[in-house]
């Protein structure tokens, strides 16, 4: 079954620690994205990558880092510099084909800083 998988579903982190959220897709999509959802805030773009070994900052990239070494994988690291990391994180992918195709989302990772 093709899809996009995020792991883990729930993650707890102590303040001051870095943590990496996993995102894998087997849809052969070129583009991948990370969004963050906070109550009443909708989905805000953190980083995106339209091709392997290339990525761009989104609207709220501060305190986050990503890598895109493989087409299938786009891990997100939440660093200790992120002031308010507790949130629901969503990874998505799209083919980037003409016209713009819909983005497919994973099931999300809820990160809680304790």
Partner 1 sequence: DQQVKQNSPSLSVQEGRISILNCDYTNSMFDYFLWYKKYPAEGPTFLISISSIKDKNEDGRFTVFLNKSAKHLSLHIVPSQPGDSAVYFCAASAWNSGNTPLVFGKGTRLSVIA
- Pick the binder of partner 1 from 13, 22, 52, 58 (CB under 8 A): 58
Q: Where do the H-state alpha helices sit in 40-102? A: none
User: HSE (CB half, 13 Å, CA atoms) of 69?
Assistant: 3
* Contacting partner 1 within 6-45 (CB under 8 A): 6, 31, 33, 35, 40-45
What is the nearest approach in angstroms of partner 1 to the Cβ of residue 19? 19
Contact 26, 3 (CB under 8 A): yes
Q: Terminal CA-to-CA distance of the chain, rounded, Å?
A: 36
Work out whether 107 is an interface residue with partner 1 (CB under 8 A).
yes
Binding mask 76-95 vs partner 1 (x if CB under 8 A, - otherwise)? ------------x-x-x---
Q: In sequence order, what are the residues at sequence separation of 6 or more whose Cβ sits closer than 8 angstroms to the Cβ of residue 39?
A: none
Chain contacts with partner 1 (rule: CB under 8 A): 4, 6, 31, 33, 35, 40-45, 48, 50, 58, 88, 90, 92, 96, 98-100, 102-108, 110
């Amino acid at each position: 079954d093709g899809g996009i998988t995020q792991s883990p579903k729930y993650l707890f982190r102590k303040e001051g620690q870095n943590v990496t959220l996993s995102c894998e897709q087997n849809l052969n999509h070129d583009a991948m994205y990370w969004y963050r959802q906070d109550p009443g805030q909708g989905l805000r773009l953190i980083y995106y990558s339209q091709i392997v070994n290339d990525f761009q900052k989104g609207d709220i990239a501060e305190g986050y880092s990503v890598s895109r070494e493989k087409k299938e994988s786009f891990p997100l690291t939440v660093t200790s510099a992120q002031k308010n990391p507790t949130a629901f994180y969503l990874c998505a992918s799209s083919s980037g084909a003409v016209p713009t195709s819909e983005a497919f989302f994973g099931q999300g990772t809820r990160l809680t800083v304790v």
